[in-house]
A and B are shown apart, each in its own frame.
Chain A
């Protein structure tokens, strides 16, 4: 690539990076400024004194919809939804992808097509069917209900990812396992699963981020103390609409975003590696 071309490419990458980072920087800076300071100066500015108390307040004191518990219980709600849904959907997706790619059976491509169709169905389309399902199985306004939704919907992605990774596992390995006498699950747990960390990291990061950040189902199917943190954040905004508390609000936003940020910071390297794994046979 000629020098000016590289310069252009770098320029675009930097511009994009800055465009993504500026809003986040503003939020982080505001989370460290007092409400007074923000009201008196501008929305964008360097903190005059470091107001760490915003975080303590957002975490455990702030009032959301008449209960002054801060974000803490809602963070736990999100964790209680995200962690089981991520683990279960990843494991089921791995087994489904393994079955589809390595145990060819009649109609397997159709099943694969149906499962992955879920990726292309907009969330809004599924909202009303889920309402009926949750109502009928008695899980409206429960965290378990959200776990069920995210596990099932997540399987479209996890199955697709795992299937695409597993098709590069040589068929001879499966033949050897059959002759050795390993059945479906023994082959999966002893031979296929140990080969899977690259793709499991991808699906775990993907699922964790999406489920943690999900808002529509959280706000539709849960209320009050059952809400995940994304839904609670809105409640927090509504509660202080009359007296803006930008500092505390910003701190709450940073806290709510922290888990996915950490997952990405620690796992991003593996994420990129896993996405390209299997691309070259």
Chain B
């Protein structure tokens, strides 16, 4: 039995479709992240799961029970909001226990629950403060405490970290992940930040224009994106997507990028031979293009190339290089020791085993 099962969920505001048939099965203990650009429908979907908005069509099942007509409070869920939504006039303790109070849980049990949650989140010293007396990170913890105290079947997070500054965001990200590993809760987490999705999720649902583009574990989403949208949305900097032709030659299969003098032929693994003769979009992660002496984590043929450098962006840990590959712009991630300048010609090594091929018409992954 799945913790959450969505079948054919649609939502339209007037004549404008926002969700176009979402199907999803989420198992107990999974950390599912819904990620996508703003307006993709991810928050609407979360609200539909919570029961805060009705779906236009389809069914929502929580813990094996169809809950389409069940009020939010009776769905056995808890939610953490982007704005924290702490009740301003209540103390932290009252905020955390308000849900229990509404369910007529006896005072002694409420106190025990608050003690347990406060210890779990290390907010014991804050219990008698008002939300206005708390920092952003503390408010975030209290909001989590309010969700945890009821021990629900499903935790819903609506961009809970986007109001925090960068440093705190990284800390809280780790805390949420650790907490999940400790209590094995079933989480559905909405974010527009693909790094949050990659770091926390056990499975990622990438959404775009009201549809789930791909629903898979982070590794698959990153390395085998289902289509060009996912390829370009996940990863910073994004995947290089270069128009190419697949050819077979004496030496094996090759992807040819560009035409005429600047054309570059890149050898592909033999498995790609079936695509020979096709026009494709070649997808290659920036980290698959590196300085010449880099060793990738597998044997196989080394493809080295000399490419003109247009620009470099040192980030400290690595340097992003904008190069020309067969006349197309391509990003490479090189070691910060490599001192390249605009206008140089640099020597790079390519990891073609991780190449993806997409259909230029539909954008779907073909190999």
Residue A242 CB within 8 A of the other chain:
no
Q: 15 A-B Cβ contacts within 8 A?
A: A172-B83, A172-B85, A176-B79, A176-B85, A176-B87, A176-B146, A179-B77, A179-B79, A180-B73, A180-B98, A181-B73, A191-B87, A191-B90, A194-B88, A195-B89
Collect the chain B residues with CB atoms within 8 Å of residue A195's CB. 88-89
Minimum CB distance partner of A183 in chain B = B102
* Chain A 183-230 residues near chain B, CB threshold 8 A: 186, 190-191, 194-195
Contacts of B81 in A (CB 8 A): 172, 175-176
5 interchain residue pairs of minimum CB distance:
A194-B89, A181-B73, A181-B102, A180-B99, A172-B85
Which residue from chain B places its CB closest to the CB of A175 in the assembled complex?
Answer: B52
Cβ-defined contact, B89 with A179, below 8 A: no
The answer to whether the Cβ of A182 comes within 8 Å of any Cβ in the partner chain is: yes
Indicate whether B78 reaches chain A with its CB closer than 8 angstroms. Answer: yes
Is B221 interfacial (CB 8 A cutoff)? no
Tell me if B197 is interfacial: C-beta within 8 Å of chain A: no
Bound CA span A241–B321, Å: 99
Cβ of A13 within 8 Å of any chain B Cβ, yes or no, is no
Residue of B nearest to A174 (CB): B85
A-to-B contact residues, CB < 8 Å: 170, 172-173, 175-182, 186, 190-191, 194-195
Question: Which residue of the partner chain, among B73, B88, B146, contacts A178 with CB atoms under 8 Å?
Answer: B73
Of the listed residues A170, A179, A195, the one surrounded by the most CB atoms of chain B closer than 10 A to its CB is A179
- List chain B residues, Cβ under 8 A from A170: 83, 85
Residues of B at under 8 Å CB distance from A?
47, 50, 52, 71-74, 77-79, 81-90, 98-99, 102-103, 146
Contact yes or no, A191 B89, CB < 8 A: yes
B196 CB → nearest A CB, Å: 19
Minimal Cβ-Cβ distance residue in A for B78: A179
Alpha-carbon gap, A170 to B88, bound state (A): 11
> Could you tell me the distance in whole angstroms from the C-beta of A191 to the nearest C-beta in chain B?
5
Minimum C-beta distance from B239 to chain A (A): 35
Q: Residue on B with the closest CB to A193?
A: B89
In this complex, what residue of A is CB-closest to B88?
A195
User: Complex Cα distance A194/B90, Å?
Assistant: 9
CA of A173 to CA of B81, assembled, Å: 9
Minimum Cβ distance to chain A for residue B4 (Å)? 16
**Pair B102/A186 contact, Cβ less than 8 Å:** yes
Q: What separation, in Å, do the CA atoms of A88 and B193 have in the docked complex?
A: 50
Residue contact A181 to B82, C-beta cutoff 8 Å: no
Minimum C-beta distance from A166 to chain B (A): 13
**Bound form: Cα–Cα A173–B84 in Å:** 8
CB contacts (< 8 Å) of B85 on chain A: these are 170, 172-173, 175-176
Q: Report the separation of the CA atoms of residues A202 and B71 in the bound assembly, to the nearest whole angstrom.
A: 36
CA distance A195 to B78 in the complex (A): 24
* A173 CA to B103 CA, complexed, in Å: 18
Q: A178 to B87: give the CA distance in the assembly, Å.
A: 12
**A181 touching B87 by the CB < 8 A rule?**
no
